[in-house]
Chains A and B, each alone.
Chain A
């Protein structure tokens, strides 16, 4: 039995959520570089590109939902772990490090995509900072589940 709260499905879910947000940002950057002939297509895409940061930020909400439901589901597990000798502090640190590891891995994948497409490597950095903020906020909620 691992010490981590994350099961394979949880890891995959979070990976997919991060990859989706990074991919969306890269896609916007890619579309900006396209030299489109069609005025219709240009005006259609402009309506999204003009609001790129807002659109991407709204989609990052799925990561907030992931953290929220993950901790709710693991509420009994957290309590049982504490019961058998683990501490809230250790669980919190482990949870934070697991999330950050998954984040770094998916960010690395997005960097590879940027390299392949010849984009600015730092275009997704602001997303990483946002996700770290989400992780830290959600880590504080671990304490809420220490009592069953």
Chain B
């Protein structure tokens, strides 16, 4: 410890520029690794989620990007026909979100409302921290059972009621809190699986057939965008596609499990590979720059190192000193990345970004901690490369020459 303190205070800190440049290079390496790791983890998480929906016999809807639609021309009559056709001929999973409501709560957040039918709810198996599962057999002129995100649980515990002016039904409703979702429950975008919205300040509203029937065009149209037809065939789906086109003037594609996997492999796996390659290339470049930096350091501090070797420092102790020094630099960088991520996460709270706020240990969620672990591992690898290069360079110079530099 004494020797290490001596090296830090009397040798390394005397040439602080070299230490600072190493910190900056490591910071870059850590940031790149962190971002890449988090992208990959988040995509993988989203992919796991879509696997629940993307099963054999299921077809996921997608508005054809080339479809020339006139949104103003789409009316409730048209959507109603489509839903009637759906209800008569198919089992389908219905989900839509993004509807905001002003409901009083201790965090003063705008609340997001998500609507889903029973099939969707069953497929996704939401984990609850309190209460019971949603009940889809209700009368909405009475109380509608809902699930709340963790952020609302203090204001509205299980069993309490919420009175809202429902925008999709255009009438006042009474919601009864049936259960509280587990902290940081999320929903990933099917076509951008790394993009997540969190349910911490959301209300999950069960939308049964009657609810959808009475809902306005916004809910019905948005619900069609991501509808998943369950246990069906390509021929039946083709008919549905025609019905939608005839009544709404919009071309919808329905993709099977295989088509979705192929799409995922073509776009996301390919993108993930590009991300991995870019990250690796940048890490190699940064490691080379770091090696150059340490070789410069060795050149400038060689006399100091070799005089210490002359008076009794062993190479193995010097190796330990270098590893400890590098460990401190890595730790500083990990703290920087940690602080940066925590401030980003906390920023969502300050901006009242209801769909992005998360709960976590020191503001970081599981994915962030995993990514930090990956960063720590990459630091170990870079550290070994750098320290061994330093020692190799020092050993090249005989002690008797080094002291007289």
State yes or no: do A and B touch (Cβ within 8 Å). Answer: yes
Hey, which bits of chain A sit against chain B, CB under 8 A? 20, 37-41, 43-44, 47-48, 55, 58-59, 61-62, 64-65, 68-69, 72-73
Contact A43 B195 (CB under 8 A): yes
A87 to chain B, nearest CB (A): 26
Contact A38 B296 (CB under 8 A): no
Total of A-B residue pairs, C-beta within 8 Å:
66
Contact B20 A41 (CB under 8 A): no
A43 in contact with B39 given A62-B21, A73-B299 (CB within 8 Å): yes
- Which 3 interchain pairs have the tightest Cβ spacing? A39-B192, A38-B271, A69-B296
A135 to chain B, nearest CB (A): 16
Contact B35 A44 (CB under 8 A): yes
Contact A41 B21 (CB under 8 A): no
Determine the chain A residues whose CB is within 8 A of the CB of B189 once the complex forms: 39
Contact B21 A64 (CB under 8 A): yes
Partner among A39, A41, A62, A72 whose Cβ is within 8 Å of the Cβ of B300: A72
Determine the chain B residues whose CB is within 8 A of the CB of A47 once the complex forms: 35
Determine the chain A residues whose CB is within 8 A of the CB of B28 once the complex forms: 55, 58-59
Determine the chain B residues whose CB is within 8 A of the CB of A38 once the complex forms: 267-268, 270-271
Contact A65 B18 (CB under 8 A): yes
B177 at the binding interface (Cβ < 8 Å): no
Given the complex of chains A and B, what is the CA–CA distance between A114 and B160 in angstroms? 63
Contact A65 B192 (CB under 8 A): no
- Scan B298-323; emit 1 where CB is below 8 A from any A CB, else 0: 01100000000000000000000000
B17 at the binding interface (Cβ < 8 Å): yes
Given the complex of chains A and B, what is the CA–CA distance between A41 and B189 in angstroms? 15
Contact A65 B296 (CB under 8 A): yes
B152 to chain A, nearest CB (A): 28
Given the complex of chains A and B, what is the CA–CA distance between A88 and B24 in angstroms? 33
Count of chain B residues with a beta carbon within 8 Å of a chain A beta carbon: 33
Determine the chain B residues whose CB is within 8 A of the CB of A68 once the complex forms: 17-18
Contact A37 B267 (CB under 8 A): yes
Determine the chain B residues whose CB is within 8 A of the CB of A62 once the complex forms: 21, 25, 289, 292-293
Determine the chain B residues whose CB is within 8 A of the CB of A69 once the complex forms: 18, 296, 299-300
Partner among A20, A39, A61, A64 whose Cβ is within 8 Å of the Cβ of B194: A39
Most buried by B among A44, A48, A73: A44
B274 to chain A, nearest CB (A): 6
Determine the chain A residues whose CB is within 8 A of the CB of B278 once the complex forms: 44
Chain B residue with the shortest CB-CB distance to A65 = B21
Segment 34-71 of B: residues with Cβ below 8 Å from A: 35-36, 39, 43
Determine the chain B residues whose CB is within 8 A of the CB of A64 once the complex forms: 17, 21
A27 to chain B, nearest CB (A): 10
Determine the chain B residues whose CB is within 8 A of the CB of A61 once the complex forms: 20-21, 24-25
12 A-B pairs within 8 Å (CB atoms) are namely A38-B268, A39-B195, A40-B39, A40-B43, A40-B272, A40-B275, A44-B278, A58-B27, A58-B28, A59-B24, A59-B28, A61-B20
Given the complex of chains A and B, what is the CA–CA distance between A28 and B189 in angstroms? 27
Given the complex of chains A and B, what is the CA–CA distance between A37 and B274 in angstroms? 13
Partner among B35, B39, B293 whose Cβ is within 8 Å of the Cβ of A65: B293
